[in-house]
């Protein structure tokens, strides 16, 4: 029997047992769909969380001053610590592993434009702040080094702050009065969906140069004079993250006489560690979901093996007649092997088609901020087919060997007795 006749005979046999074939294929198909959808959902959640986290800041560590919990340098524990207005430059000079060390000052200020007024948070810092905190520009520009050096009274508006003060009117070049001090609007921020904050949503803030901020709106009591709210730090690279944090702690400890290991004196909001922790969680979730899909696929493979073993028993007489007429052991093995592979790979192709089609349809729908959609990858597709191939071969070998081992005389006698 040539391959064409073998394939035709195999398809005829499968068609003759349509219900059994369908149920067997369904197990494999569902396993492939499960693996693809679960891995795609995990990838969509991973990318969504990463994208959403980036709206707050990019690889930034935020150092908050606190209260000492350890004695150091003859100083008692329990002292209040406050970052000074010039600490950022001293720390930067002592922290080569850090790309940026900048200060941030914020105050609620009563403000007004020609059209409206309000009480919004005004923040003063340095030009890298825009990149560190993902403040994308919709129009105009962010303040620059020259604005800081010249103590220019210029303002960059959050998207909601712009709407409150100017509505739909153009804002660039307009004047906003922060208290009684006029500031010229030089830029407007693009709308962003911020997932976290330590002092409010950026879209409702006004950003001004650090030098103008500490001159016009310094921190008020109970904060000591010439202090700032926090320091923002970015490492030179992710590999230097720990070195950068350590250097900043040592520098701050030296300036303010506290133990660098005192976590209470200098508390850190570390977006890098948060991102790493989220990545570990997502890896675990993705592995778990993929494992569930693999187990489902293996169960489908056992179903295929079971069905083929039943087929061997049901076709004992057919196998005996074929062997009596001269069919070789290799021909019997090949026939049952091909039957199993056809069932497995046809099921796999249907499963992949359904899974990828479903992903494409779901991705047409609007998604929440933390979910990027169902994102199947070529790696998951290759993995699914490799697993399918292994399971198909393992499912085919034993039934095919059982069929080839049938004794033609015993098979005909068994059927006659039945």
pLDDT above 90 (res 210): yes
Q: Decide which of 68 and 379 is more confident.
A: 68
Residue in 201, 200, 202, 205 with CA at minimum distance from that of residue 217? 205
Structure confidence at residue 76 (pLDDT)? 76
pLDDT above 80 (res 322): no
Structure confidence at residue 216 (pLDDT)? 95
Confidence band of 315 (pLDDT split at 50, 70, 90): low
Q: What is the pLDDT of residues 219-262, one digit of tens each?
A: 988 889 999 999 999 998 888 889 999 999 999 999 998 999 89
Q: What is the pLDDT of residues 116-167, one digit of tens each?
A: 999 999 999 999 999 888 888 999 999 999 999 999 999 999 999 999 999 9
Confidence band of 271 (pLDDT split at 50, 70, 90): confident
pLDDT above 90 (res 343): no
Every domain of the chain and the residues it spans: 3-53+276-417, 67-264
- Sorted by sequence, the CB contacts under 8 Å of residue 26 that are 6+ apart come out as 300, 347
Structure confidence at residue 35 (pLDDT)? 77
Q: Decide which of 13 and 123 is more confident.
A: 123
> Can you tell me whether residue 159 is helix, strand or coil?
helix
Helices in 133-228 by DSSP H: which ranges? 145-149, 159-166, 210-216
Q: Percent of the chain scored above 70 by pLDDT?
A: 75
Structure confidence at residue 310 (pLDDT)? 67
My answer on whether omega of the bond before 243 falls inside 30° of 0, hence cis, is: no
pTM of the model: 0.63
Strand partners, 185: 155
- Contact (CB, 8 A) for 388 and 297: yes
Q: What is the pLDDT of residues 43-57, one digit of tens each?
A: 787 777 666 655 555
Structure confidence at residue 45 (pLDDT)? 76
Average pLDDT score over the chain: 81
Structure confidence at residue 201 (pLDDT)? 87
Structure confidence at residue 335 (pLDDT)? 72
pLDDT above 60 (res 416): no
Confidence band of 186 (pLDDT split at 50, 70, 90): very high
**Whole-angstrom Cα distance, residue 91 to residue 232?**
11
**Whole-angstrom Cα distance, residue 122 to residue 214?**
11
Mean pLDDT calculated for residue range 393-415: 64
**Whole-angstrom Cα distance, residue 176 to residue 288?**
54
- Residue 413's CB is within 10 A of a number of other CB atoms, namely 12
Determine the straight-line distance between the first and last CA of the chain, rounded to whole angstroms: 29
Confidence band of 282 (pLDDT split at 50, 70, 90): low
Structure confidence at residue 300 (pLDDT)? 65
Burial of 298 (0-12, 13-18, 19+ CB in 10 A): middle
Tokens read off for 371: 């979910």
Q: Percent of the chain scored above 90 by pLDDT?
A: 36
What is the residue whose two structure tokens read 């948070």?
121
Q: Decide which of 184 and 403 is more confident.
A: 184
Tokens read off for 409: 């005389």
Letter string b/e over residues 307-337, b meaning 16 or more CB atoms within 10 A of that residue's CB:
bbbebbeebbbbbbebbeeebeeeebbbbbb
Best-predicted range by mean pLDDT among 42-51, 205-214, 279-288?
Answer: 205-214
């Amino acid at each position: 029997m040539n391959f064409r006749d073998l394939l035709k005979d195999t398809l005829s046999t499968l068609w003759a047992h349509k219900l059994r074939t369908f149920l067997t294929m369904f197990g494999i198909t569902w396993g492939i769909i499960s693996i693809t959808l679960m891995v795609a959902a995990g990838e969509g959640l991973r990318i969504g969380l990463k994208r959403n986290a980036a709206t707050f800041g990019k690889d930034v560590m935020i150092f908050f001053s606190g209260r000492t919990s350890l004695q150091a340098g003859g100083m008692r524990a329990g002292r209040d610590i406050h970052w000074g207005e010039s600490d950022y430059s001293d720390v930067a000079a002592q922290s080569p592993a850090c790309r940026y060390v900048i200060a941030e000052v914020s105050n609620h200020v009563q403000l007004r434009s020609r059209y409206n007024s309000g009480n919004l948070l005004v923040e003063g810092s340095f030009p890298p702040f825009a990149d560190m905190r993902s403040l994308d520009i919709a129009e105009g520009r962010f303040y620059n080094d020259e604005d800081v050096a010249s103590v220019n009274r210029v303002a960059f508006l959050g998207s909601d702050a712009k709407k409150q003060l100017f509505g739909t009117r153009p804002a660039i070049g307009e004047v906003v009065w922060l208290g009684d001090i006029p500031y010229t609007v030089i830029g407007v921020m693009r709308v962003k969906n911020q997932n976290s904050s330590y002092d409010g949503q950026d879209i409702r803030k006004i950003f001004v140069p650090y030098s103008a901020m500490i001159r016009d709106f310094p921190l008020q009591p109970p904060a000591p004079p010439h202090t700032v709210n926090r320091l923002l730090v970015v490492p030179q690279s992710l590999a230097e993250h720990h070195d950068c944090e350590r250097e900043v702690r040592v520098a701050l400890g030296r300036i303010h006489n506290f133990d660098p290991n005192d976590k209470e004196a200098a508390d850190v909001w570390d977006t890098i560690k948060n991102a790493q922790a989220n990545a570990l969680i997502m890896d675990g979730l993705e592995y778990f979901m993929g494992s569930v899909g693999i187990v489902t696929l293996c169960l489908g493979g056992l179903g295929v093996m079971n069905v083929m073993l039943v087929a061997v028993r049901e076709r004992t007489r057919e196998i005996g007649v074929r062997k009596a007429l001269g069919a070789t052991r290799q021909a019997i093995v090949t026939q049952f092997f091909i039957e199993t592979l056809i069932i497995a790979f046809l099921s796999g192709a249907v499963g992949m088609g359904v899974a990828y089609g479903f992903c494409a349809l779901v991705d047409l729908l609007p998604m929440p901020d933390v979910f990027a959609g169902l994102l199947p990858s070529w790696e998951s597709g290759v993995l699914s087919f490799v697993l399918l191939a292994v399971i198909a071969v393992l499912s085919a070998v034993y039934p095919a060997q059982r069929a080839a081992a049938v004794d033609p005389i015993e098979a005909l006698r068994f059927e006659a007795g039945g």
